[in-house]
Structure 1
Amino acid sequence: MRLPILTLFGLFPYALAGVTVQKPGLTVPARYQSNRAAAEQIFLTSYNAYKKFAFGHDELLPISKTSGDDLGGWGASIVDAMSTMLVMGLDDLFNEAVNFSSRIDFNTIPAGGTISVFETTIRFVGGLLSAYELSGEKHPILVTKAKQVADKMAFAWVGDNDVPFGHIDFSDNAPQIAVTNIAEAGTLSLEWFTLSKFTGNATYADLTAKSVEHIANLGTPLPGLAPQLIDPSSGQFADAYITWGGGSDSYFEYLLKYARLTNTNNNIFIDTWKTAVDSSIKTLLKTSTVGNHVYLADLDDQGLIRHVGSHLACFHAGNWLLGGKLLNNQTIINIALELNDGCWNTYAGTATGIGPEGFAFISSDGNFTGDAITADEIAFYNKHGFYITASDYIQRPEVLESNFYAWRLTGDTKYLDRAAAAIASFNKFLPSPNGVGFACLNDVNNPAAGFIDDTESFWFAEVLKYLYLTFDDPEHISLDDYVFNTECHPLKAPPALNSYTGSGTLIPKKPFTAHTTSGPRPLISPI
């Protein structure tokens, strides 16, 4: 039944084995192997605290020992943790999670009334379908539940609009008519394609792919680099701000990963990604004046370079490593490894050994960040080659994600050392003396500043899975066999093609026009 669907999508389900991503014959040296158990123990400690104080809710609040429900109230931490349970071999916890998930009713009105199409897709649709695959397709109820919530979210596409609205009121299926961003509109394709694969209904894949194609076919300020905001009503960009950070990040991530997961013969995905990387190297790639740390700057609405970075944006190194291998492009790989080092430096340079949410640099061509640089920031920069602009740590995975890719591609044990250092820092600084489990930090450079009362669902889905897999047998969940969604849920990939070179540089079908709205820029939801 599934072969006709794959053929309908214009895919190659039985491509000859082609390009490989992981270093052949890679093994984890014995001296590092205890770190796998250490990552698993952090997961168990965190999840047991969640079970005791928040089971059935979206998130544990570990300081107050209560729960939060800002993702629909459907037990996001349980669904987000399922694929990690399977990766770690925690079968009892997984079976309990399946029993819980089978009873979720996505037709009920969620806490708060509205849900994010993006957040619900990457956590619930991605988590359920990944768990279905990883468990040997033994629990079809997981597909049923993924379909149930996707059927509700499909109302985000209104009329002939290619681009979905970002939020849905589940009480009446009404989309919230507002400007969204390219990450929200362009980070649905892996999950909804997989749902089409298991249901035999191409509509899910078609809806999400056409949104990405629409964005890719619009003219952009720099070739391949779509700006951050888009208006689903008009289908036009609503600003000209370019970043690999939040609000844009996973749109670029999925251009590449969709090409790999589907082996599609539609070159717009790989061509747009290649063009975006090329433009980024030419315009956004910068080096700090202290330490020679490589980073990707932003380009603001006025066309000015902003020498800023973020924990969110640090996924780019892993994404470029994957793309460099698929394209057999050593230049991209080399730059990606430098970007990875620059992001790790934001961990190595803090008092806790954990990276901040936001940071900035000074380069030979400027230091513009939109704010004045203080004397303390200059002093910190002169010592570390970056300075902190947002000091909190909210259990982001991206630096460790890219570190994982760097290990699997190169086999350089410095990446194992870095992952081990992160585990040690988490164990030292994230448990609260008066709380349970692992919390977030107010200030990574001042542990005395205290905790943020939250354990994110992606702590279970991403951070601890990436750390565990870094020290696991590299043939287990190999990058040659799986594509990770942006929530680190592994999705089974077909054999790789011999080439992902595409047709060349993307030429948008439409010129760039930003239909900007008046008033302040809308808040960007965390990606």
Structure 2
Amino acid sequence: MRSLSVGGSAAVLLGLAAAAPPPHKHRAPHYAASQWRADAVKKAFQVSWDGYYKYAFPHDSLRPVTNRYADDRNGWGASAVDAFSTALVMENWDVVDQILEYVPTIDFDNTTTEVSLFETTIRYLGGLVSAYDLITSPFTAHSCKTSDVDAILRQATRLADNLKVAFDTPSGVPDNNLYFNPPRKGGSTTNGIATIGTLVLEWTRLSDLTDDAEYAKLAQKAESYLLRPQPESGEPFPGLLGTNVRLSDGQFVDSNGGWGGGTDSFYEYLIKMYLYDPERFAEYKDRWIAAADSSIKYLVSHPTTRPDLTFLAMWQGKELRFFSEHLACFNGGNFILGGLTLNEPAYTDFGLALVDGCHATYTATATGIGPEIFAWQDARQPLNATNNPPAPADHAGFYNASGFWITNGNYVLRPEVIESYYYAYRATGDTKYQEWAWEAFERVNRTCRAGSGYSSIRDVNQPGGGGFHDFQESFWFAEVLKYSYLIHAEDAPWQVKADHTNQFVYNTEAHPIRVAGAWGTAKPWR
């Protein structure tokens, strides 16, 4: 483990963002709630829930155009569990009671489809643990039957007990692909750093709640191979890793990566674990600092036509690739959270610059919604370099105006841009981020509203979105609607704090998990 100095990166960061000092440097943030906007988001939640409950419940997801359902997450009611924590923070007690009645009936022993350890952890396990944390602390005044509340934790434990087989490998690095009836591994030989490194918050929290160390130990052992990567080629830049690890010995098999899909939430959870418990997870903080500093030093990129925009490149070994994803737009919020947590405004400032870049991907399109994947030509690399091609001829006009071109125009109800607006607002109190979030919500509300709910769309740069995919993702409930609501809602215990009084930390599915120190539940698991 190598702890890097934060101060060195501060000078680099301040040189990158030569803008007016943000409000948080001069005053504590002041938040301005907007009840009518919060209520509008709650209305969209209710529309989405009513359509799901009528046409799809207790299956996983609604197909709103055709009023059918999909069992894309093992048929355990993914949308219901993903909606649980959002219904709680919205204090939508009718929906809370419907989900609370359903949770004890889920049969986590049986499914006919392959089980993803990662997706099941962030959606189901995270959703249940979060609901338990919320109901047993901030919402103790709401009348829930004790037996129903206890069933939430019992079901989380039952699910984790079935998932534990994933870690039964020579190294302890889990197999992400499982089958149930009975639980068994799918026979993978490798796993990715996101699907290894995005388990530790939920599994550690379950140990802390149940006083059973096994869950935490399993996830933390798997994580240890990412904290101390081998061989050296698996860490092409300090703190920045390849993607895939062998299950046999925990060794990296490539050196390709980025802050996008497949790797993203590994970096996200490093600082979030430190926020969860700074005593137990100081090493995670050091690894986040290493990744953040290397990202600033090696990955920062400005488009040739819009040098005012800041993006982070992907990498193949030490060679950069100048494209990014909607998924990667959580990175602004993660840098902001890191800056707040570590008392380092330079990280927060850099996060705000990344937020500005992702905001530009929304304002440039016909729908006002950002694309799934976009690319640009880097202003500092040779323009004839093989890794730095110009925009295709048919995209040149768009690139000249916007600073990026679209390589995949889908929008699948993703939350990451609004998520980063939320962190920017909570860090600064600057109402422009509320305006950006409201504008994004209005555009999504207008474009994606379809039939009995909301649907992913085919092309963000076509009027009306170019048609529907007829699918309402469960994370629409957990993430998009939650962040869209929270940025306009009154302050509350689960809101992100800028003053080191956080009582919750959000998992990658936006389920708020009670931090260990908030109620004395820290345990000495190693």
TM-score band by shorter chain is: 0.7 to 0.9
Structure 2 residue 441 is matched with structure 1 residue 423: yes
Q: Tell me which of 200, 212, 218 is aligned to 1:189.
A: 200
Q: Which residue of 1 aligns with 2:360?
A: 345
1:470 aligned onto 2:471: no
In structure 1, what is the equivalent of residue 469 of structure 2? Answer: 452
Match of 1:170 among 165, 180, 202: 180
* Letter of the structure 1 residue corresponding to residue 494 of structure 2: I
Determine whether 1:397 maps to 2:395: no
After TM superposition, give the deviation of residue 451 of structure 1 in Å.
0.7
Letter in 1 for 2:423: Y
Q: Indicate if the aligned counterparts of 2:305 and 2:402 stay in contact, CA closer than 8 A.
A: yes
Q: Which residue of 17, 27, 34 maps to 2:31?
A: 27
* Contact 1:307 1:366 (C-alpha < 8 Å) held by counterparts: no
Does residue 411 of the first structure (1) align with residue 426 of the second (2)?
Answer: no
Say which of 208, 227, 230 aligns to 2:242.
227
1:406-465 alpha-carbon deviations (Å, 9 max, x no partner): 000001111011011012112211123xx2211111000113620111000000000000
Q: Which amino acid in 2 is paired with 1:115?
A: V
The alpha-carbon deviation at position 370 of structure 1 amounts to 8.5
Deviates more, 1:380-389 or 1:260-269: 260-269
* Whole-Å separation in 2 of the counterparts to 1:232 and 1:49: 42
SS of corresponding position for 1:299: strand
User: What residue number does 1:115 align with?
Assistant: 115
Taking the TM superposition and a 5 Å limit, the aligned residue runs for 1:302-341 are: 303-341=318-356
CA shift for structure 1 position 238: 2.0
Could you report, residue by residue, the CA deviation over 1:112-169 in whole angstroms, capped at 9, with x for unpaired residues? 2x20000000011100011111112650110100111111111001244231111111
- Aligned equivalent of 1:58, options 57, 60, 64: 60
Structure 2 counterpart of 1:122, one-letter code: I
* Cα distance in structure 2, aligned partners of 1:120 and 1:44: 24
2:286 counterpart of 1:271: yes
Tell me the residue number matched to 2:511: 489
SS of corresponding position for 2:453 = coil
Tell me if structure 2 keeps the 8 A contact 1:356–1:392: yes
Aligned 8 A contact 2:109 2:182 in 1: no
1:492-503 counterparts in 2 under 5 A? 492-495=514-517
| Deviations 1:178-237, CA, capped at 9 Å, x for gaps | 222100011001111111111110110111111112111014111111111122123111
TM-score, scaled to structure 2: 0.86
1:472 partner amino acid: A
Closer/same/farther in 2, CA of residues 409 and 448 from structure 1, 3 Å limit: closer
Q: Which amino acid aligns with 2:421?
A: N
1:441 aligns with 2:451: no
What is the CA distance between 1:481 and its match in structure 2?
Answer: 1.7
- Of 151, 167, 177, the residue aligned with 2:161 is 151
SS at match of 2:513: strand
Aligned pairs (5 A) from 1:194-209 = 194-209=205-220
Matches of 2:169 and 2:467, distance apart in 1: 49
CA contact (8 A) 2:457 2:465 kept: no
1:258 to 256, 270, 273: 273
Deviations 1:55-112 (A, max 9, x none): 101100111210001111000000000000000011111111011111111111x132
Is the contact between residue 408 and residue 474 of structure 1 (CA under 8 Å) also seen in structure 2?
A: no
How many angstroms apart in 2 are the aligned matches of 1:387 and 1:311?
13
Change (3 A) 1:361 1:372: closer
For residue 369 of structure 1, report the CA deviation from its aligned partner: 6.1
* 145-154 vs 422-431, greater mean Cα deviation: 422-431
**Conserved in 2, the CA contact under 8 Å of 1:308 and 1:369?**
no
Report the Cα distance in structure 1 between the residues aligned to 2:154 and 2:121, rounded to whole angstroms: 14
Is the CA contact (8 Å cut-off) linking 1:162 and 1:214 kept in structure 2? no
SS at match of 1:316: helix
Superposed CA deviations along residues 14-69 of structure 1, whole A, max 9, x for unmatched, are xxxxxx99x7462215xx43211111111111110001110101100111210001
The question of whether the paired residues in 2 share the 8 Å contact of 1:347 and 1:355 is answered with yes
User: Who is 1:519 aligned against?
Assistant: none
Q: Cα gap change, 1:448/1:24 in structure 2, threshold over 3 Å: closer, same or farther?
A: closer
2:133 is matched with 133
Shift of 1:398: 0.5
Q: Contact (CA 8 Å) 1:70, 1:111: kept in 2 or not? A: no
Aligned counterpart for 1:142 among listed residues 132, 152, 161: 152
Q: What is the aligned-residue RMSD (CA, Å)? A: 1.9
Q: Supply the distance in 2 between the matched residues of 1:128 and 1:316 (Cα, whole angstroms).
A: 26
Q: What is the distance in 1 between the residues matched to 2:280 and 2:201?
A: 16
- Of 388, 406, 424, which aligns to 1:388? 406
| Cα distance in structure 2, aligned partners of 1:335 and 1:208 | 31
Query: Percent identity at matched positions?
Result: 39
Q: Is the 8 A contact 2:391 2:399 kept in 1?
A: no
Preserved CA contact (<8 Å) 1:164 1:232: yes
Residue 478 of structure 1: CA displacement? Answer: 2.4
Higher mean alpha-carbon deviation, 168-177 vs 36-45, is at: 168-177
Q: CA deviation at 1:382?
A: 0.3
Provide the residue aligned with 1:71 in structure 2: 73
Structure 1: runs of 5+ lacking an equivalent:
1-19, 497-527
- Which of these residues, 265, 287, 300, is aligned with residue 285 of structure 1? 300
Worse overlay, 186-195 or 374-383: 374-383
The one-letter code matched in structure 2 to 1:280 is: S
Unpaired runs of 5+ residues, structure 2, are 1-23, 138-145, 497-501, 519-526
What is the Cα deviation at residue 373 of structure 1? 3.6
**Residue equivalent to 1:520:** none
Tell me, in whole angstroms, the C-alpha distance in 2 between the residues paired with 1:370 and 1:116: 35
5 Å-filtered alignment, 1:5-24, equals 24=28
Q: Summarize the Cα distance change of 1:239–1:259 in structure 2 as closer, same or farther, 3 Å threshold.
A: same
